[in-house]
A and B are shown apart, each in its own frame.
Chain A
Amino acid sequence: MTPPGADRDRDRGQANLLAIGLAVLALTAALGLGTFLAETALDGERRAAGERATAVAVSGRLVAADGPLAERRTVLDASALDAADAESLAERYPALADAEFRVTVGDRVVAERGDPIDGTTVRRIVTVRETESRTLTPELSTDGGPGVTLPRRTDRVRLRIEPPPNTTVRTVRVDGRVVLHDPSGLNGTHEVPVSRLETLRLSVDGEGRLPAGSIAVTYFPATDRKAELEVTVDA
């Protein structure tokens, strides 16, 4: 039989080693946890500085005055939106070349390539201008007369002048100013730039009778609405 004292001594030696083992284990666990946290933090930070920069730059170019969709600065042209497609955008902006992206205005998808599901999105407020064309065939008389008032404002007027034989249209006036004049008679289609900022009254001068339909006036009223331009890039 071993005396009780010797037994206790042996227990003490093992307890020491056990404590060291536990300490080492705790240290290793802490280190492992730290590495794991660092890894997740780095993964989280790996989000796409490049993606964001591309989205910001491209959306900025799109709303600039010389952008492919823009009519003026921050004003987009609705018909250009219809015509836009992803390939031409990617060609114009090489930063988009290898990326999946989507450009939307309001609810409408303007251009889309791939499915940029977890991409970075940049939004800008824009105005969308929709220009339609309307044609009037007013009753005009060649002695000046009261003329015709265009019901909406426009930045240009297209006139198709087809007077019957024996009738000559010499002068077209907009708000009293001469915009077209030909002493030997006007004929055919003419486009006249006018002020967008005032209501226009159109009158003609000449000789002879003008039956209805001899002069067709086409004008281009614009409707503006606010929308949000959204560019999503997933590189």
Chain B
Amino acid sequence: MRSPRLRDDQRGLTPVVSKALGVSLLLLYVGVLSTALYGGVVPDYRDAAGEELGERTLAGASLAVGDAVPPNATDATVERRVDIPRTIRGSTYEIRVENRSLVLDHPRFTRRRPLTLPEHVVSVSGSWTSTEEPVVRVDRVAGGVTVRLVAGDRS
């Protein structure tokens, strides 16, 4: 059995030790948690959400390009604005035409989608960067129409 003096000293320290212990435990917990969240979980989700948004943007853009083409008999020039997000997962991106497909080129991923266009579309070309106003331009040429992705005025 210890002497009563020593016991009194220990009792004096108890609140300090217990609070310090508690605080350090919580700090450790918060630290581990933040590392886990911001080191893995959150970026994963941002990537997943970004890719999903990219896919939708591309699907919407390809539908808009297809819808902009008038029937064959119409002798008209069509200019149609398309709504796409300015940034995906915090960075700008590019949508361009490659071989009758629409390609979304993002620093983190690339997506491709074949366009479904009427037969009388002779050629498809051009590209959009997400910082500009995206416009589909359909012009009449001999034997059909051409489709171009051009930049309009952001207004």
Could you list which residues of chain A lie within 8 angstroms of chain B, going by C-beta atoms?
6, 9, 13, 16-17, 20, 24, 27, 31, 35, 38, 42, 45-46, 49-50, 52-54, 56-58, 60-61, 64-66, 73, 93-95, 97
With A6-B11, A13-B18, A64-B71: A46-B52 Cβ-Cβ less than 8 Å = yes
Contact between chains at A66 and B22 (CB < 8 Å): no
Contact between chains at A54 and B116 (CB < 8 Å): yes
Q: Which 7 A-B pairs have the closest CB atoms?
A: A53-B59, A94-B114, A57-B116, A49-B56, A49-B59, A95-B114, A13-B18
Of all chain A residues, which has the CB nearest B99? A94
14 CB contacts below 8 A, A to B, read: A27-B29, A31-B33, A35-B41, A42-B49, A50-B113, A53-B59, A53-B60, A53-B113, A57-B66, A60-B66, A60-B67, A61-B118, A66-B118, A94-B101
With A17-B22, A58-B116, A66-B118: A24-B29 Cβ-Cβ less than 8 Å = yes
Q: Which of B1-53 contact A (CB under 8 A)?
A: 7, 11, 14, 18, 21-22, 25-26, 29, 33, 37, 41, 45, 48-49, 52
Report chain B residues within 8 Å CB of A45.
52
Complex CA gap A56/B62 in Å reads 11
Judged by a CB distance under 8 angstroms, whether B63 is at the interface is: yes
Q: Which of B58-103 contact A (CB under 8 A)?
A: 58-60, 62-63, 66-67, 71-72, 100-101
Could you list which residues of chain B lie within 8 angstroms of chain A, going by C-beta atoms?
7, 11, 14, 18, 21-22, 25-26, 29, 33, 37, 41, 45, 48-49, 52, 55-56, 58-60, 62-63, 66-67, 71-72, 100-101, 113-116, 118-120
Contact between chains at B72 and A66 (CB < 8 Å): yes
Of all chain A residues, which has the CB nearest B29? A24
Contact between chains at B18 and A17 (CB < 8 Å): yes
Contact between chains at A53 and B62 (CB < 8 Å): yes
A17 interface neighbour in B21, B37, B100, B118, Cβ under 8 Å: B21
B59 interface neighbour in A6, A50, A58, A64, Cβ under 8 Å: A50
Report chain A residues within 8 Å CB of B119.
66
Complex CA gap A221/B52 in Å reads 51
Complex CA gap A58/B62 in Å reads 12
Of all chain B residues, which has the CB nearest A43? B48
From residue A24, how far is it (CB to closest CB) to chain B in Å? 5
B60 interface neighbour in A20, A49, A97, Cβ under 8 Å: A49
Report chain A residues within 8 Å CB of B37.
31
B63 interface neighbour in A27, A53, A93, A97, Cβ under 8 Å: A53
Complex CA gap A61/B121 in Å reads 13
Report chain B residues within 8 Å CB of A31.
33, 37
With A6-B7, A49-B56, A50-B113: A13-B14 Cβ-Cβ less than 8 Å = yes
From residue A74, how far is it (CB to closest CB) to chain B in Å? 12
Complex CA gap A46/B53 in Å reads 10
Complex CA gap A20/B72 in Å reads 73
Complex CA gap A24/B56 in Å reads 39
Report chain A residues within 8 Å CB of B18.
13, 16-17
Of all chain A residues, which has the CB nearest B15? A13
From residue B86, how far is it (CB to closest CB) to chain A in Å? 19
From residue B53, how far is it (CB to closest CB) to chain A in Å? 9
